[in-house]
Amino acid sequence: MGKFSDTPALDEQVLLAHVLGKPRAWVLAHPEATLTPKQECALEEALLQLESGVPLPYVLGKWEFFGLEFEVTPEVLIPRPETELLVERAVSWLRQRLAMNRQARDVKSAACPGRQAREADLGRLRAVDVGAGSGCIAIALAVNVAGLQIIATDISQAAIKVAERNAVKFGVSERVEFFCCDLFPSEKTFNVQPSTFNLIVANLPYIPTETLHGLRVYGREPTVALDGGADGLDVIRRLLAEAPRRLSPGGLILLEIEASQGAKVLSLAHDAFTEAKINLHQDLAGRDRLIEIAL
């Protein structure tokens, strides 16, 4: 298992806790705990999967992201801690924007009470999560921003099914609508109009093909969610080319990138949005991780 994991002892503890149905802290505090025959078989089978190279989250069938435990399968990318930066900034922006919209609505309603119903939409925002995978970004946003309506897209139908189950699990399926498509839903097919979205978030495939083939993750997680083409920017280029007509005035784009791509994606973003405010943010490790484009 060591050739596939940097923390084999920790992985074994997590598996043992999973089989016992207890927190890992409980397992560490009870070394005398014994397994039933059924639990022993389950643990042995899980350890064999780990030793064969199956990532721990797939063995568990779940993984935590932004304080929520998501179902994960080999059809979806395993949620990463660094992606939480995108969600944090999105949640903060959405809450600020909703507060501003509600304030504007209240002012207009006070000035003209008869317009209350017509001004109701001022308090609503629409977002799209492009390349949703397990749905972790879209669902985390819906859970943390009351009333947010969000579309989540993915090119993989199998991934969409996992994401839909996660949305049901967290009680947000009525506010998160899933589409299997390449980047954005078709305007004709799904009646999604131009300049629809206040917020666009995306964690797209961004690893250069040649680099990916030399990484441990290759062949263990879905290649379609990792391979960004020759320089890692194929899908990002296409998103930035289409995003201007999808984003509403005053909208925001948050785009996760590979750590070495900061300067290149900044240049692409400036080409696509000549008058936007564009910033590059670093993750907790100090590596370039997030492009923010504000209209």
CATH number at residue 158: 3.40.50.150
* Residue 268 forms part of a structural domain: yes
For range 266-272, the mean pLDDT = 97
pLDDT bin (cut points 50, 70, 90) of residue 80 is very high
Same domain, 145 and 256: yes
For range 122-147, the mean pLDDT = 93
Same domain, 163 and 31: no
Same domain, 41 and 131: no
**Amino acid identity, position 202:** A
For range 271-293, the mean pLDDT = 96
* Greater pLDDT, 75 or 111: 75
Q: Which helix (H) or strand (E) segment is 68 a member of?
A: strand 68-71
Q: Is the pLDDT of residue 114 over 80?
A: no
* Greater pLDDT, 194 or 157: 157
For range 108-124, the mean pLDDT = 58
pLDDT bin (cut points 50, 70, 90) of residue 288 is very high
Q: Which helix (H) or strand (E) segment is 270 a member of?
A: helix 262-272
Mean pLDDT of the chain: 91
DSSP 120-139: GGGG--EEEEES-TTSHHHH
Same domain, 101 and 43: no
CATH number at residue 21: 1.10.8.10
List, for residues 5-36, the tens digit of each pLDDT value: 778 888 889 999 999 999 989 999 998 889 99
Same domain, 102 and 208: yes
pTM: 0.91
Same domain, 226 and 95: yes
Same domain, 150 and 280: yes
Cα distance between residue 9 and residue 200, in whole Å: 39
Q: Is the pLDDT of residue 217 over 50?
A: yes
Q: Is the pLDDT of residue 249 over 70?
A: yes
* Greater pLDDT, 1 or 186: 186
Do residues 233 and 261 touch, judged by C-beta distance below 8 A?
yes
Same domain, 189 and 47: no
Do residues 133 and 203 touch, judged by C-beta distance below 8 A?
yes
Segments of 155-283 assigned E as strands: 176-180, 197-202, 247-256, 277-282
Cα distance between residue 285 and residue 204, in whole Å: 20
* Greater pLDDT, 210 or 111: 210
- How many beta carbons lie within 10 A of that of residue 87, not counting itself? 22
Q: Is the pLDDT of residue 116 over 60?
A: no
List, for residues 135-167, the tens digit of each pLDDT value: 999 999 999 999 899 999 999 999 999 999 999
For range 1-5, the mean pLDDT = 61
Q: Is the pLDDT of residue 125 over 50?
A: yes
Do residues 258 and 248 touch, judged by C-beta distance below 8 A?
no
State the first-to-last Cα distance of the chain, in angstroms, to the nearest integer: 48
Residue 118 has a pLDDT of: 46
Rg value, the chain, Cα:
21
Q: Is 151 helix (H, G, I), strand (E, B) or coil?
A: strand
For 226, the domain range is: 81-294
* Residue 73 forms part of a structural domain: no
Q: Is the pLDDT of residue 129 over 50?
A: yes
Number of domains in the chain: 2
Share of the chain above pLDDT 90, in %: 80
Residue 9 has a pLDDT of: 84
Same domain, 145 and 22: no
Q: Which helix (H) or strand (E) segment is 17 a member of?
A: helix 8-20
Residue 5 has a pLDDT of: 74
